[in-house]
Structure 1
Amino acid sequence: MRYSILILLTFVFFACGNEKVIELPVINHSEINEINDVSPAYLFYDETQKDSVELNRKNLIVSTNWLVNVDKRLTLRQVLPHIQFLQSKKENSSHKNEHAKNYYTCNDLSRKDLGFIEFTDVVYFTEEDEILPENTYHVAVLDLNQIIVYGLEGADYKTNLNDLLATLEEATAVGIGERSIGLSFYDKLSFNDYIAFKSELSTLHLENVSVSNHEFIFN
């Protein structure tokens, strides 16, 4: 018997077993829409498995670019251990290719096709043992409508994604000097909202502002 792993409406992978469907996270636009020399991994939303998540990595080749297909219904708490496992597997392999990168696969609405968000250099951590450098805005995302910002405009406050993006653009327009943004995410945040936040933030062209590649996942 054969089964198909369906991604979007067109991307089908065949193997043995039962049919499984991945609902990809949805983004408005991706700057990356074509990648060569790839191999896939899949994180399924599966209510029959412990914590409703199942990793399929049988076709991963360490020397290639990795496309990690994560079901948007999963939470960061469910996804994180598997992502860290994949990162470690590649980083510590004797066959590692320094030019091979890691990407999350998305449903790009602007093209009605697949889009990709790179996470090669993202370091995930769950312990508050990292000291953020001075001149850093700390952005804590509970969901897209509940975002707490520390250190911007001289006071801590709550906002939503759209207002945060507007505030960051305004702040850089008036010349705030060099700053960095440190990101924290609630571990019950859906993977869809996590990717949506990352995608929208990446569309900003902020002078003298960099986004840290160290991301804290809190509970």
Structure 2
Amino acid sequence: MKYIFYLIILSVFFSCGKEKTILLPEINHSNISEIKDVSPAYLFYDETKTDSVELNRKNLISTTNWLVNVDKRLTLKQAIPHIKFLQEKKKNSSHKNENAKNYFTCNDTSKKSLGFIEFTDVIFHEESSEEYISKISDLKYSENIKPISINLKGEISILNSNSKPFIIKSTKETILNDLKKLDSGKNIIFLNFNEGLFFQDYITYKSLLLKADLQYATLSNQEFLHN
């Protein structure tokens, strides 16, 4: 499968008239290492463009699994609008395959091969989770929502307990242990990312949390960008 994937990349580069490169984000573990029946899309880092990003989606087939290759140097503010565009394009296609998924392509450094992170059902909001919650009065389990915010310095804040709110200050190295301090119950984690974070940072935190054994919490498919 990997061999076929690289042939697809080369055909896209040369059909465009010049070779283009993309620096994929790195992860140290992936549960998904092989996907069949795929179409690729590319988000290139291009300093000559107004927003430094170029989207190539010419080879996408709506009924296949989509591999979205995002250059790790792009910020979330640059990349996410294009990712949302691709999600909407597939959702609104007249030709649908309910089993077809969307994945981010990564370099799995532990296996020295490609790894993939699914984002089919992720809903990206260009606002904070606090703003979102304030607008949704009938949101189920709102008392169990635990927002996690990651700022530009990589500092992590976990809001715990609505009855007696307090903030757990965490880091990339301690977040898994700190999540164990959450109140017992059916907690839902809302991830908040500063829009200035690089896509590499986003993938790092996502992969870290996806492989975590969270006893008292589940990751929401709602994700939020803030400035």
Confirm or deny a common fold (TM above 0.5): yes
What residue in structure 1 maps to residue 10 of structure 2? 13
Aligned residues with identical type, % of pairs: 54
Which structure 1 segments of 5+ residues have no match?
1-8
SS at match of 2:192: strand
Task: State the number of aligned residues.
Answer: 209
Q: CA RMSD in A?
A: 2.1
Q: Is the 8 Å Cα contact of residues 144 and 160 (structure 1) preserved in structure 2?
A: no
Partner-residue secondary structure (3-state), 2:189: strand
Task: Confirm or deny: 8 A CA contact 2:170 2:178 kept in the other structure.
Answer: no
1:1-29 residue CA offsets vs partner (Å, 9 max, x unmatched): xxxxxxxx998422232211100000010
Distance in 1 between residues matched to 2:153 and 2:33, nearest whole Å: 25
Is the CA contact (8 Å cut-off) linking 1:143 and 1:193 kept in structure 2?
Answer: no
- Which structure dedicates a bigger proportion of its chain to helix? 2
Equivalent residue runs for 1:15-164 within 5 Å: 15-127=15-127, 128-130=131-133, 131=136, 133-143=142-152, 145-151=154-160, 154-164=165-175
Letter in 2 for 1:167: D
SS at match of 2:88: helix
Shift of 1:154: 4.5
**CA distance in structure 1 between the partners assigned to 2:115 and 2:125 by the alignment:** 26
Distance 1:33 1:143, change over 3 A: farther
Q: 2:202 aligns with which of 174, 194, 198?
A: 194
Does the residue aligned with 1:51 lie in a helix, a strand or coil?
Answer: coil
The verdict on how the C-alpha distance between 1:12 and 1:59 changes in structure 2, with shifts beyond 3 A counting, is closer
Judge which range, 46-55 or 132-141, deviates more.
132-141
| TM-score, length basis structure 2 | 0.86
Taking a change above 3 Å as real, the CA distance of residues 181 and 82 of structure 1, as seen in their structure-2 partners, is same
Matched to 1:20, the amino acid is K
CA distance in 1, matches of 2:46, 2:38: 25
Counterpart residue type for residue 116 of structure 1: F
